[in-house]
């Protein structure tokens, strides 16, 4: 019966289960990749976020130390277990961030509620990234900015081939994609691209876009 229930899961329910299970070990695992692969990305986000900030898929709150003191932070996270770690981190930092459980594809906020929307290393696992980006645009005020950082398909063919092979395991096991690219989806959603760069053999992309 358990096997049948798992097979009947929606993609969103599966992601919630996967991240709940990963929560206790997530910080330890991600720290290694941040040293060698994601270097400087959280600082990049924190330097550009202004005003009322919404972080989508805030995870364990690893971006929280990098936001400037004058911003107000709201975070949304699908996994309650990950969210518990984010709340603990916010408390340790003395931040009064509003951290809530919720789905990136159905953000529980009104139109034009935020000045900046941030999403880091999460669109690679969100089941419908186009829907999530459309929601991010909806909750941004006119002129507000979207800040994205994620791993994407490398611009170097040997690395991209390895990513494609890795996806044969990670997509079915955890819903994690390594060859997705968010930039075309951001453009299709109607954003104006302000700044973009690719790093680490083109496998990390940073995007700053305006509504």
pLDDT digits 0-9 by tens, 33-54: 888 898 999 999 999 999 999 9
Average pLDDT over residues 160-164: 94
Output the furthest CA–CA distance in the chain (Å, rounded). Answer: 51
Residue 2 has pLDDT above 60, yes or no: no
Contacts of 75 (CB under 8 A, 6+ apart): 54, 55, 58, 61, 83, 86, 97, 98, 99, 100
Q: How many residues does the chain have?
A: 211
Q: Which domain holds residue 180?
A: 2-210
> What predicted TM-score, i.e. pTM, was given to this entire model?
0.93
Query: The CATH number of the domain where 179 resides is what?
Result: 3.40.50.150
Tens of pLDDT along 55-83? 999 999 999 999 999 999 999 999 999 99
Q: What is the mean pLDDT of the chain?
A: 93
CB atoms within 10 A of CB 139: 22
- Are the C-beta atoms of residues 78 and 103 closer than 8 Å to each other? yes
Q: DSSP string covering 15-71, please? A: HHHHHHHHHHHHHHHHHHHHHHTSTTHHHHHHHH--SEEEEES-TT-TTGGGS-TT-
Residue 196 has pLDDT above 80, yes or no: yes
- The domain tally of the chain equals 1
pLDDT band at 86 (very low <50, low <70, confident <90, very high): very high
Q: Tell how far CA 182 is from the center of its chain.
A: 11
pLDDT above 90 covers a percentage of the chain that reads 86
CB atoms within 10 A of CB 90: 20
CB atoms within 10 A of CB 66: 14
């Amino acid at each position: 019966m358990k096997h049948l229930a798992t097979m009947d899961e929606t993609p969103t329910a599966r992601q919630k289960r996967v991240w709940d299970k990963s929560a206790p070990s997530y910080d330890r695992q991600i720290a290694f990749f941040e040293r060698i692969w994601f270097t400087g990305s959280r600082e990049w986000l924190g330097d550009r976020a202004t005003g009322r900030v919404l972080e989508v898929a805030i995870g364990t709150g690893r971006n929280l130390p990098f936001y400037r003191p004058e911003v107000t932070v709201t975070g949304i996270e699908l996994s309650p277990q990950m969210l518990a770690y984010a709340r603990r981190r916010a408390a340790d930092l003395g931040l009064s961030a509003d951290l809530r459980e919720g789905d990136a594809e159905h953000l529980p906020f009104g139109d034009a509620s935020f000045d900046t929307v941030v999403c880091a290393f999460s669109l690679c696992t969100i089941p419908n990234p186009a829907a999530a980006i459309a929601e991010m645009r909806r909750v941004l005020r006119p002129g507000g900015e979207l800040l994205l950082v994620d791993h994407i398909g490398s611009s170097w063919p040997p690395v991209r081939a390895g990513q494609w092979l890795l996806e044969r395991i990670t997509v079915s096991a955890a819903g994690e994609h390594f060859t997705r690219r968010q930039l075309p989806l951001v453009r299709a959603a109607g954003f104006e691209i302000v700044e973009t760069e690719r790093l680490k053999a083109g496998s990390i992309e940073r995007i700053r876009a305006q509504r």
